[in-house]
Amino acid sequence: MTQFSPTQFRNNFPLLHLKIDNKALIYFDNAATTQKPQCVLKAINHYYQYQNANVHRASHYLSSEATTAFEEAREKVRAFINAGSTKEVIWTKGTTESINLVSQSLGLDHLTEGDEIVLSESEHHANIVPWQIVAQKMGVTIRVLPLTKFGTIDISNIETIINAKTKIVAIAHVSNVLGKINPIETVINRAKKVGALTLIDGAQAIAHLTIDVQKLDCDFYVFSAHKVFGPTGVGVLYGKEAILNTMQPYQSGGEMIKTVSFYKPTTFNALPFKFEAGTANISSIVAFAKTIDFIKPYIQESIDYSEYEKQITRYCYQQLASIKGVTFISEGTPDIPVLSFTLNGHHNHDVASMLDSYGIAVRAGHHCAMPLMEYLTISGCIRVSLAPYNTYEEIDIMINAIHNIVSNENFIDSNNTAQENVRTSLNEITLDSIIEKFSKIKGWDNRHREIMLLGKTLTRLNKAERRDEYLIKGCESLAWLKIEKTERNTFLLSADSDAKIIRGLLVIVLSAYNGKTAEEIKQFTIEEYFSKLGLLQHLSPSRGNGLRAIVETIKRTVK
């Protein structure tokens, strides 16, 4: 039995000791990707130092070493999920590619007009869009399993939805937003009764549950290495050997062929190589073997490990529930440490950016689950996702930070002139004054506070002006930009957003462009301006892209 100590477990992960602006990093975005233990980092480096060669394609020493390590990794994955054979373990780039492989290789041959594919309301886009593409090509209907109030698939009407027309059922083992384990055994059994094939998206389950694909008796099971403390760029497609043998290759090229001729039909390689065209992400696959060596004893053998996960999940849920204004998007404590909620009176992106100023990494938005947000009638939510290297102390810091957000303490700093800044009108804010102010600010938390204060100065658009024609495409939050040309051929810009952080960024952009001619706007170097403010290195890529989307909208519109 593997002994589990949260402190010892945490010490395996170098990045968790990182400090940002002299604050300890608190990483609560594990549903997006987990951190990597030192043994995995060493394995990647070791491969490139001592084994670097292509696999299966040469008879020299290095290739033999690399191929052996590559195939040993496949065997470890087979054992990890209890597949019947390594022929049933296909390497991909990730869960998304695994689903696309099945949808294209199987769906286009297996489906005919009038057939049905069954998904659920809580699926990730990666388990929706590939099937939509296939359904459109083949004249197939997609049917959707609803959810209970607790966020799990509702099986009360399953016999109607999964019926004689159903050919494929593709559902998540665990939702990436709701954190609830779905009744996949019931769904799989029902699919078998009507002769439908089943694909289970295990991206969120793989780091928390013992997976036995033979016991589940699903036809396909897919997951990504990076969700279970492994490297990025590696995914696994488990498929039953008999079914894989009937499927055409998803991609073609080297490795997946047996013979190629201009004069005779090309023949394909045997499993699993038939589906592995081109050079794989060898270093990460080899390192994934070390990941499994590291994590398998904890997930599959340590009671303390799973119990600790349950304890921190319950604790975080209870502490969040005690905050006035927190509303969970489904009822009940999650089954895995993925907790999603909204905070009344605060935009989701504002909460995430405020927490980031405390050094706390969470995620806000639709989490690649727009249909779920529509089903729940919300625009998005805040997601806190934990791992066993997270601590009670980190949860307490986050809870205190949210209390500060609720009480507005984050807006007022006794060491600055926040109250005076709030009273400053937008007309008094110039490009030079913003540059001067930001040049004196140290640390992202203070810059963030200043951006939020600037947002208070923005004159809001009236609701009638928040039209689709003014909507900024590419901005992570809804934002509108109205551009008017004056008699002097200069431009007057006005804008709005529901998110305070976006309103602050709009003020920064508008101060650079308002009152300028088209030529002046064209000549202005916005990247240099952002650099002077020290913004881009702190903003998330999506928010940085939102800034650029605002700028591109202005440049595209003014002439």
Query: In degrees, to the nearest 5, what angle opens at C-alpha 235 toward C-alphas 229 and 237?
Result: 130
Q: Which of 316, 368, 381, 475 is flagged as catalytic?
A: 368
Q: What is the DSSP code string of 72-127?
A: HHHHHHHHHHT-S-GGGEEEESSHHHHHHHHIIIIIHHH--TT-EEEEETT--GGG
Q: Cβ distance 90 to 237 under 8 Å? A: yes
Q: Which two tokens mark 261?
A: 């001729």
Residue 339 CB coordination number (10 Å): 28
Q: Residue 12 is inside which H or E element, if any?
A: none
- DSSP state letter for 461: P
Give the rounded distance of the alpha carbon of 545 from its chain centre: 16
Residue 201 CA to residue 175 CA, distance in Å, equals: 9
Q: Cβ distance 120 to 184 under 8 Å? A: no
Beginning with the edge strand found earlier in the chain, give each strand of the sheet holding 363-365 in spatial order.
Answer: 326-328, 338-343, 381-385, 363-365
Amino acid at 369: A
Look up 39 and say whether it is catalytic: no
Question: Considering only CA atoms, which of 348, 341, 375 is closest in space to residue 477?
Answer: 348
Q: Which residues of 468-485 are buried (b: 16+ CB within 10 A; e: fewer)?
A: eebebeebbbebbbbbee
- DSSP state letter for 407: T
Q: Cβ distance 294 to 76 under 8 Å? A: no
Q: Cβ distance 182 to 120 under 8 Å? A: yes
β partners of residue 341:
328, 382
Beta strand 360-361 pairing with 26-27:
parallel
Q: Which two tokens mark 232?
A: 């990025």
Catalytic residue numbers, as ranges: 368
